[in-house]
Amino acid sequence: MNRKTKLSLVVVIALVLGAMIFLRSKPQDTEVTETETEKSTDHHDHDHDHRATIPKVAPTTEKPSADPKELSVTMTELPSLRDLEGLTDEEVHHTPDFIVEGGMKIGQLIEEADANPAKREETLKFMKSCAENDDLVPAIRAVCWKKTLTQITNWEIFLPISDAKVSDEVKNLASQLP
């Protein structure tokens, strides 16, 4: 294997591991619902228990659907080929932190869409767009392509992929991901 292929494979493995660590380390968000009971102070009718149950629902801060502007910003935060240009020979042998962070961002997007079905369609479109983006690191693109293919099935969302402009290199890397 040539140096570029080895580097890409190491980066892909690091991304997958980073995403797995992120998903396992993040505490599950739980919504607590309390019920409060009030007793009526009506002194004239002692034969009936006047109770009202008032549910208290914790407010959610979740947006109803994925914001395309946020996703656009996230795309610019993913590691690009330009980010790799400044690496020293020593740094090439290790996965740079910005690559791991990129994988964690992808994992976070998938996790948010898993929790909120309204975000799934836009997230899936983002993943496809990420896989097609020639400016991004091939390993990141491979993770996006793998997630596109798996989430289409998992989320049961139609997204045409026959027209996707994903290189054979990215498809090959994605096929090697677990």
**pLDDT tens figures, 26-68:** 444 444 444 333 444 444 444 444 444 444 444 445 455 667 7
The pTM of this model reads: 0.64
Strand partners, 21: none
Take residue 111 and report the two structure tokens written for it.
């996790």
Size of the chain, expressed as the number of residues it contains: 178
Alpha-carbon distance 68 to 65, whole Å?
9
Identify the pLDDT of residue 5: 63
Sign of CA dihedral 155, 144, 13, 96: negative
- Listed as ranges, residues in the chain with pLDDT below 70 are 1-66
Q: Which phi-psi region, left, alpha or beta, contains residue 156 (left: φ > 0; alpha: ψ -120 to 50)?
A: left
The answer to whether the beta carbons of residues 149 and 175 sit under 8 Å apart is: no
The answer to whether the beta carbons of residues 151 and 116 sit under 8 Å apart is: no
**Under DSSP, is residue 130 helix (H, G, I), strand (E, B) or coil?**
helix
